[in-house]
Amino acid sequence: MSRKIEVIASDDGSSTIFLPNMNETYHSTHGALQESEHVFIKKGLSYLAEKQEEITILEIGFGTGLNALLTQIFANQNQNIKIHYHTLEPFPLDLEVIQQLNYVECLKGSKELKNEFETLHQISWNECHQLNPNFIFTKYHTKLEDFDTLLNEVDLVYFDAFAPSRQADMWTIEQLERVAKAMKSQGILVTYCANGQFKRNLKALDFELEMLDGPPGKREMTRGIKS
Ligand SMILES: C[S@@+](CC[C@H](N)C(=O)[O-])C[C@H]1O[C@@H](n2cnc3c(N)ncnc32)[C@H](O)[C@@H]1O
């Protein structure tokens, strides 16, 4: 059965996806681009890049590829940083949907950037691709519950699942333990979510939590450090 998918505009003008059957969007409707830049790039990648030059990232939910695109741009702009990007997606979006997303236009990107964005979506699954000298990209066509490829390797997790109110089973201790196993000690997890049960689950897995200012429209976000 095919999913019903709508491309809509969020408040900062950037696109996001709305799933009517789930009544859920892929990003904050207050601003998709602003949310990704704030939560994942500023509070995750930029924060870690001040401390180390080689960073392995695991993203839960590739979706539109917005976080991957912003990370690739960061790598292009910071040639001293080497990024290994791993991302999971069981339900890939069709290219015709991807072509309706306006991220490259919002970022005032070139034709080359548009090609880079589409390449992220078109290249093969479950294989490692060196897209730039300092950006190595692998996307896995799988669910988190079936993923055990990485062990003690990840420096930074972009935990970008649908909200706990829509997909509670992504935020359980069992799922978070899978993520924790992939992470190095002192690795960092960032997410837009500040849900109480989620935070208690992270604490039960020995994460230290920092509550940070959220993106527009959201008071708080979470950064967890695996201890
Ligand atoms: C909130 S969206 C965010 C996607 C993406 N980061 C973006 O910026 O577009 C959540 C994503 O998680 C994916 N997803 C759903 N179930 C999943 C599972 N069991 N394991 C991994 N990803 C899942 C969805 O298909 C969707 O692409």
- Residue 200: which CATH number? 3.40.50.150
Residue 15 maps to a domain: no
Q: Quote the number of domains for the chain.
A: 1
pLDDT in tens, 87-98: 999 999 999 999
Cα(69) to centroid(ligand 1), Å: 15
Residue 176 maps to a domain: yes
Residue 27 maps to a domain: no
Residue 118 maps to a domain: yes
pLDDT in tens, 1-12: 568 999 999 999
- Give the residue, out of 170, 191, 195, with the most ligand 1 atoms within 8 A of its beta carbon, to mutate for a pocket test: 170
Residue 19 maps to a domain: no
Instruction: Tell me which residues have their CB closer than 6 angstroms to ligand 1.
Output: 26-27, 60-64, 66-67, 88-91, 143-145, 160-162
Which range of residues forms the domain containing residue 54?
A: 33-226
What is the reported pTM? 0.98
Which position has the token pair 């960061």? 74
The Cα-based distances of 166 to 19, 124, 163, 169 in angstroms read 11, 29, 5, 9
Cα(218) to centroid(ligand 1), Å: 20
Residue 167 maps to a domain: yes
Residue 28 maps to a domain: no
By alpha-carbon position, which residue is closest to atom 14 of ligand 1? 61
Residue 12 maps to a domain: no
Cα(63) to centroid(ligand 1), Å: 5
pLDDT in tens, 96-144: 999 999 999 999 999 999 999 999 999 999 999 999 999 999 999 999 9
